[in-house]
Structure 1
Amino acid sequence: MSIVRKRLSPEHSRAAALNAARELLIEAGPQAVTLKAVAGRIGRTHANLLHHFGSAAGLQKALIESLAESVTAEIGAAVFRARAGDHDPREVVDMTFDAFDRNGAGALASWMILTGNEDALNPILDAIQRLVDKISSDHAHKDQSLQEETLHLVLMALGDALLGAPMAKALGLPRGAARDLATRALLAAHLHDD
């Protein structure tokens, strides 16, 4: 008996693969994001995914691009809400930290670097640069540039995603200590701007 598969448009097939890859990343880490695993999750063939992504590295690059675009869009919206006085700047910190920790971007970025696929990080770096360009156009900083503030926040979020829990535990600090430090730094930078 043959299995009848529902035919998907190339866009829907690609989107389904990226959603499955994102789920695998969060559930089992970057090493689990393989063409075979993603194909199995969405009921497609390995060859189908090769057609869309070219290789496992291509799938991972598309995943990181998708994550970068969605996360920077959310963070950008949070920045504008915080500027309007509607939200606490902690929202920006939490979204950035969550992107690298809970959404798996920190583990995926590290995996890419460690496996020699550093070019796959370009979508993250490009998305961050576009966000900084967008939000810096109407916001001057006196003591610290937005680029420096972004570097500080992203590096703290990445470090926290990779080592935050065991480091905080070893130092006898609460798990959210790095987020608290990042929030204080962000608030301090903006207090000096006024």
Structure 2
Amino acid sequence: MSALRTSEVPVRRRLSPEESRAAALAAARELLVEAGPQAVTLKAVGARIGRTHANLLHHFGSAEGLQKALIAHMASSIVGTIKAAVIRSRELEDPAEVVDLTFDAFGQNGAGALASWMILTGNEDALDPILNAIHVLVDDLVRDVPAHGKPIHEETLQLVLMALGDALLGAPMAKALGLPRDTARQLARRMLLADRGR
């Protein structure tokens, strides 16, 4: 067997702290979507990005710290997207995009499952990053977007609770009641349209 030449040895590029943290959060998000919140561990994330457990401990302090950083990262990204959609939907007078983005954020993107799992495992402040981001979003919208019908704080409460509930129980509830899977989304859309007097 011939010896491995130096040019054939894979070289692990040294990442800056910011790059290492960003890579870890991207890997954690992939694990969350692929396998659920219980899969978001320091060991699994480290294996995915080729970093040691100690390296991730340095950045996040613990698995709980990684999960909190992930949910804060997701909240910031989600809320920015939703704000743009809210402004567009008010111009088009149809909240369908806002409803879809909110439901997808909590459902397909895993934020609902992660937040619920963290709360159930004793992390009482798990929702703080999401709640803070939504609070900032609503305050921005109150300033930037003219109100129609129900105050935006109440609309937001209804929509987020519906999206979170749908992420956790929507599929089995719809099946048990013999309803299409997207029934909760349609109800949320109709609720927002009714709130705007349409």
Please list the CA deviations of residues 134-155 of structure 1 after superposition, one character each: whole Å capped at 9, or x if unmatched: 111242344x221111110001
Residues in 1 aligned to 2:69 and 2:142: alpha-carbon distance in whole angstroms = 27
Q: 2:84 aligns with which of 69, 72, 77?
A: 77
In 2, Cα distance between equivalents of 1:164 and 1:147? 23
- The reply on whether 1:177 has 2:178 as its aligned counterpart is no
Match of 1:10 in 2: 17
- Shifted more, 113-122 versus 66-75: the winner is 113-122
Query: In the alignment, what sits opposite 1:104?
Result: 110
> What do you get for the CA RMSD once the two structures are aligned?
1.5
Q: Give the % identical residues.
A: 72
Write the distance in 2 (CA, Å) between the matches of 1:23 and 1:88.
31
Distance between the aligned counterparts of 1:104 and 1:134, measured in 2?
A: 25
Code of the residue aligned with 2:39 in structure 1: it is A
Q: Distance in 2 between matches of 1:191 and 1:131?
A: 23
C-alpha distance in 1, partners of 2:61/2:29?
Answer: 18
Q: Within the alignment, does 1:120 sit opposite 2:109 as a pair? A: no
Partner of 2:101: 95
TM (normalized to structure 2)?
Answer: 0.92
Over alpha carbons, which structure has the higher Rg? 2
Q: Secondary structure at 1:118's aligned position in 2?
A: coil
Task: Render the CA deviation track for 1:80-130: whole Å, top value 9, x for unaligned.
Answer: 111222x73100000000000000001001011101112232111100000
2:58 corresponding residue in structure 1: 51
Q: Which runs of 5+ in 2 are unaligned?
A: none
**Counterpart residue identity of residue 169, structure 1:** K
CA distance in structure 2 between the aligned counterparts of 1:109 and 1:10, rounded to whole angstroms: 26
For the Cα contact (< 8 Å) 2:27–2:49, is it kept in 1? yes
- TM-score, normalization by structure 1: 0.94
The answer to whether the 8 A contact 2:94-2:193 is kept is no
How far apart are residue 48 of structure 1 and its match? 0.5
| 1:3, distance to aligned residue in structure 2 (A) | 6.6
Q: Which residue of 2 aligns with 1:160?
A: 166
User: Structure 1: where are the runs of 5+ without partners?
Assistant: none
> Residue 26 of structure 1 corresponds to which residue in structure 2?
33
